[in-house]
A and B are shown apart, each in its own frame.
Chain A
Amino acid sequence: MKKMTQRTKQKIKNNVVGWMYIMPVVLGVLIFTAFPVIYAFISSFFETPLKAISWDFGEWVGVDNYLMPLTNSYYRRKFFKALGVTFLYAGTYIPISLILSFLLAVLLNRDLKGMRFFRVLYYLPVLIPAVCSGLLWNRITDPYYGVINKMLEDFGIGALPWFTKAESSMPSFIFVNMFTLGGSMILWLAQLKNVPKSLYESARLDGAGRFRQLISITIPICTPMILYNVIMSIIGVMQTYSQVLTLTGPLNSGVDDSLLFYVFNIYDNRVSHFGYACALSFILFAIIGALTAVVMKTSKWVYYTEEG
């Protein structure tokens, strides 16, 4: 048997010390992330109600849980309704929020007195937990007693139905979420600060106006941030949950399921059909992964400066 050299021993010793340093985090990830994910993945192939964690996963059903959204009329209706609502929200909210947060950042990027104050103010709503924000907006948008409807009535415009009608629920939800633009805005601001001033000076010398500078300099240099914001928004929007719950109250998915987001579909099935709920989670994982891959594959429009 080959004898270990002093160097090998030292290497192992160094590695052991390194592993001990990171062990708390590794254990945390293994126990609280990896194990639940693996357990949920295995459960997704079994028919079982929610029950205590054990190696008895229930009745083996193969890929039936993954096919259920196609084979059972009730689950199909719920699945595609939830998917439709989620995609509708993603398709409208993401572009609108990206454009508005970008314009807000451009506005707040001006070198004016008191600008820091406004930046902080616009970021503040992001710090309100989604549940608190939802409860607050639930009151503000109350059709009978909400302050917005009171104001609209005072101006003679008339009360809005907000979340009490199916057709107005989604626009209302998008409107409410516009108050969290500060999250994307702060990222835009960071990116805007990185645009070299010399480029603007050169453009000005060439006679370019502010709009031209925005189109030809600011936006191209911000494209990495656009890509980042798009991907993060897709991930976030596809997992929309807590705000809807607090906004809509006990009905939780809105009038006529107009706010039946994908995660609600998982939540509604978690007790009676835990395996199916797990399968839905992995389908969502696949959808998010696929969307992200599509965005990444089509990201040739992203311009990376020399600094990256």
Chain B
Amino acid sequence: MKKILHIALAALFCSAFIFPFAACEIDTGETPGGQVTPGGNENPGGSENPGGSGQEEPPQQNTDADVEVTVGTLGKPDELTLMKRWISSFNTAHPEVNITLTKQMSGMPDTTLWKSAGEMPDIIWTAGDQHSPYSGNLGYFRNLNDETAFPGCTEFFGDFYESLIDSTHYSNTDTGIWFVPRDYNRLVIYLNKTAFEEAGVAVPENDWTWDDFIKTCNDLMDAGAKKGVEWKKWRPVYTTMLQNFGGKYLNDNGTLAIDSAGTEACVDFYSKFYELRRDPSDPVVGLAIEGEGTSFKAYPGFIEGSVPMIVDVRPQLPGYMQAASNGDWELEVRAFPNFTKAEGGVGYVGAGCSGYGITTDCTDEQELHWAWEFLKWCMSEEGYEKVSALGNIVPALKSLKSSGSWREYGQYGMTVDADAFVYGNTKDVFLNYQNSLPVTAHDDFVLRVDDFWKNVHAGKGYRASVDQLISDFGALKK
């Protein structure tokens, strides 16, 4: 009896612990740390401190300086490394001021806690698509589009990509610029060149079309790939695809525009794209796997079981390079395919950014002056040079589109085609689609749109998903 009990207990023990133990052996090729993505949303599974040490030294401090400017940024390793490098360089060049990193946030709501505690820094990080409740409603940010307070702002902001400046407004009638955009994050397609070669599929060019993309996915799967592409379930991707199919969420006057033939086509596309099995009669069925990079990174060394492409943005480049180096495969990147089809049309791509605003708590004239000078310097050719070795930034300045060391970034003996990140084959999509609504309704509307896509993915179909959004929009508190 005792023996039986012992065996039973041992079996229970094994069943309880085998999975956690076994998990130690899983290698998905992912690295810790997160990244900032087109809209500024955090993106799990990002890269860690590319071009850096992982543990960045504390920045240079000018403790004897008369003026101190405080900074709060996103508490992700890459973000901290970036800011520390900027601070060190700026402080070294300007001993009369001390820029100091005092706060780290996990998300924008943290700024309210800082405000409550009376510890709001002079400069804070913001996501391009999330600032409106804080700039337009709570008044945390200063309007930087003011020559009196911020001399030279007109000329300075004149060099930024228009789509990024658009994202600095909190409504479609607002002309304020509430933060300095930092990076130009367009969706791109990363691809595993080694898998392409093994599959005998030609690596596409930057001027490829949507039809080319679909054909490439099919060719890869015909050669044995598990799926053609890892396609993120992500707001910037949804917005891009909706616009490409001719749909949109809202009209300029704030009325709902979701019920359209364009939306129906987009929903139809999504309802087929992630299918487990392919349908020979429809080339779109079953081409994609959902994920945040796990499948793309976990290349098994041969085409069978691989997912050779992923839709993503520049900040993830160092992480993908690391995964490619670990897995001994070659990485390449291409512009987002132009959504022109056989019958023509215009292609769009989501373009977003993160940035830094100067807070209304920064009232001292000297601090205000240096906060502005610091941000102008960060987003200058010299500033971008200082952080180009991190590899995760495409400068927000048009003048650096085809020059600057950001284009030469590489590690592990690898480089990719920098043109892909700024290639002009498609038009930029405005990601802050909520801007035609009153600012108090922005967050609510975004959540309702998230529900819409959840319904689409749950297989509820176009009519039910749209009707639900119409009903939810009607109940929106504006």
Question: Does A52 lie at the interface of the complex (its beta carbon under 8 Å from any beta carbon of B)?
Answer: yes
- Interface residue count for A (Cβ, 8 Å)? 44
| B28 x A145 contact (CB < 8 A) | yes
Q: Which residue of A lies closest to B17 (CB)?
A: A121
| A139 x B138 contact (CB < 8 A) | no
B444 CB contacts on chain A under 8 angstroms: 272-273
User: Chain A interface mostly helix, strand, loop or mixed?
Assistant: helix
| B443 x A144 contact (CB < 8 A) | no
Question: Does B233 lie at the interface of the complex (its beta carbon under 8 Å from any beta carbon of A)?
Answer: yes
Interface residues on B, range: 35 or more
Question: Does B254 lie at the interface of the complex (its beta carbon under 8 Å from any beta carbon of A)?
Answer: no
| A125 x B476 contact (CB < 8 A) | no
| B23 x A271 contact (CB < 8 A) | no
Bound CA span A52–B138, Å:
9
| A257 x B454 contact (CB < 8 A) | yes
Q: Which residue of A lies closest to B113 (CB)?
A: A52
Bound CA span A20–B17, Å:
49
A73 CB contacts on chain B under 8 angstroms: 471-472, 474-475
| B457 x A74 contact (CB < 8 A) | no
B2 CB contacts on chain A under 8 angstroms: 112
A140 CB contacts on chain B under 8 angstroms: 19-20, 22-23
- Which of these, A74, A107, A255, A273, contacts B9 with CB under 8 Å? A107
Instruction: Give the most central of A118, A125, A147: most B CB within 10 Å.
Output: A147
Bound CA span A237–B328, Å:
46
| B116 x A52 contact (CB < 8 A) | yes
Q: Which residue of A lies closest to B6 (CB)?
A: A112
Tell me which residues from 449 to 477 in chain B have a Cβ below 8 Å from any Cβ of chain A.
451, 454-455, 457-458, 460, 471-472, 474-477
| B9 x A166 contact (CB < 8 A) | no
Question: Does B289 lie at the interface of the complex (its beta carbon under 8 Å from any beta carbon of A)?
Answer: yes
| B138 x A145 contact (CB < 8 A) | no
| B19 x A148 contact (CB < 8 A) | yes
Question: Does A110 lie at the interface of the complex (its beta carbon under 8 Å from any beta carbon of B)?
Answer: yes
| B472 x A74 contact (CB < 8 A) | yes
B477 CB contacts on chain A under 8 angstroms: 72, 273
Question: Does A75 lie at the interface of the complex (its beta carbon under 8 Å from any beta carbon of B)?
Answer: yes
A242 to nearest B CB, angstroms?
14
Q: Which residue of B lies closest to A50 (CB)?
A: B112
Bound CA span A271–B12, Å:
45
A12 to nearest B CB, angstroms?
38
| B137 x A74 contact (CB < 8 A) | no
| B23 x A136 contact (CB < 8 A) | yes
| B116 x A74 contact (CB < 8 A) | no
| A121 x B13 contact (CB < 8 A) | yes
Bound CA span A255–B137, Å:
32
Bound CA span A77–B467, Å:
14
B419 to nearest A CB, angstroms?
30
B25 CB contacts on chain A under 8 angstroms: 147
Q: Which residue of B lies closest to A272 (CB)?
A: B443
Question: Does A18 lie at the interface of the complex (its beta carbon under 8 Å from any beta carbon of B)?
Answer: no
Q: Which residue of B lies closest to A165 (CB)?
A: B458
- Which of these, A52, A144, A179, A256, contacts B289 with CB under 8 Å? A144
| A72 x B475 contact (CB < 8 A) | yes
Bound CA span A110–B6, Å:
11
| B116 x A251 contact (CB < 8 A) | no
A250 CB contacts on chain B under 8 angstroms: 44, 292
| A256 x B454 contact (CB < 8 A) | yes
- Which of these, B9, B20, B289, B454, contacts A118 with CB under 8 Å? B9
Question: Does A49 lie at the interface of the complex (its beta carbon under 8 Å from any beta carbon of B)?
Answer: yes
Bound CA span A52–B23, Å:
43
Question: Does A53 lie at the interface of the complex (its beta carbon under 8 Å from any beta carbon of B)?
Answer: yes
| A255 x B138 contact (CB < 8 A) | no
1/0 per residue A84-118: CB within 8 Å of B?
Answer: 00000000000000000000100110101010001
Q: Which residue of A lies closest to B22 (CB)?
A: A147
Tell me which residues from 41 to 77 in chain A have a Cβ below 8 Å from any Cβ of chain B.
49-53, 72-75, 77
Bound CA span A139–B25, Å:
11
Tell me which residues from 71 to 113 in chain B have a Cβ below 8 Å from any Cβ of chain A.
109, 112
Bound CA span A168–B374, Å:
52
Q: Which residue of B lies closest to A254 (CB)?
A: B454
A50 CB contacts on chain B under 8 angstroms: 109, 112
Bound CA span A234–B451, Å:
29
| A145 x B471 contact (CB < 8 A) | no
A139 CB contacts on chain B under 8 angstroms: 23, 26, 28
A121 CB contacts on chain B under 8 angstroms: 13, 16-17
Question: Does B133 lie at the interface of the complex (its beta carbon under 8 Å from any beta carbon of A)?
Answer: yes
| A256 x B458 contact (CB < 8 A) | yes
| A51 x B112 contact (CB < 8 A) | yes
Tell me which residues from 217 to 256 in chain B have a Cβ below 8 Å from any Cβ of chain A.
226, 233
B6 CB contacts on chain A under 8 angstroms: 112, 114
Q: Which residue of A lies closest to B3 (CB)?
A: A112
| B19 x A255 contact (CB < 8 A) | no
B120 to nearest A CB, angstroms?
9
Question: Does A209 lie at the interface of the complex (its beta carbon under 8 Å from any beta carbon of B)?
Answer: no
| B443 x A52 contact (CB < 8 A) | no
Question: Does A268 lie at the interface of the complex (its beta carbon under 8 Å from any beta carbon of B)?
Answer: yes
Question: Does A188 lie at the interface of the complex (its beta carbon under 8 Å from any beta carbon of B)?
Answer: no
| B294 x A145 contact (CB < 8 A) | yes
| A74 x B475 contact (CB < 8 A) | yes
Q: Which residue of A lies closest to B138 (CB)?
A: A51
Bound CA span A136–B19, Å:
10
- Which of these, B16, B294, B455, B472, contacts A142 with CB under 8 Å? B294
Bound CA span A50–B138, Å:
9
B295 CB contacts on chain A under 8 angstroms: 144-145
| A122 x B294 contact (CB < 8 A) | no
A179 CB contacts on chain B under 8 angstroms: 16
Question: Does A289 lie at the interface of the complex (its beta carbon under 8 Å from any beta carbon of B)?
Answer: no
Contacts known (A49-B133, A110-B5, A145-B28); A75 close to B475, Cβ less than 8 A: yes
B215 CB contacts on chain A under 8 angstroms: none
| B8 x A107 contact (CB < 8 A) | yes
Residues of A whose CB lies within 8 Å of any CB of B are 49-53, 72-75, 77, 104, 107-108, 110, 112, 114, 118, 121-122, 125, 136, 139-140, 142, 144-148, 151, 164, 166, 179, 249-251, 255-257, 268, 270-273
Apart from A107-B9, A112-B5, A139-B26, 8 more pairs, CB < 8 Å:
A49-B137, A72-B477, A73-B471, A104-B12, A140-B22, A147-B23, A179-B16, A273-B444
Question: What are 28 A-B interface contacts by the 8 Å CB criterion?
Answer: A49-B137, A51-B138, A52-B116, A72-B475, A72-B477, A74-B471, A74-B476, A104-B12, A108-B9, A110-B5, A118-B9, A121-B16, A121-B17, A139-B23, A140-B23, A144-B294, A145-B294, A147-B22, A147-B26, A166-B458, A179-B16, A250-B44, A250-B292, A251-B454, A255-B457, A257-B454, A271-B133, A272-B133
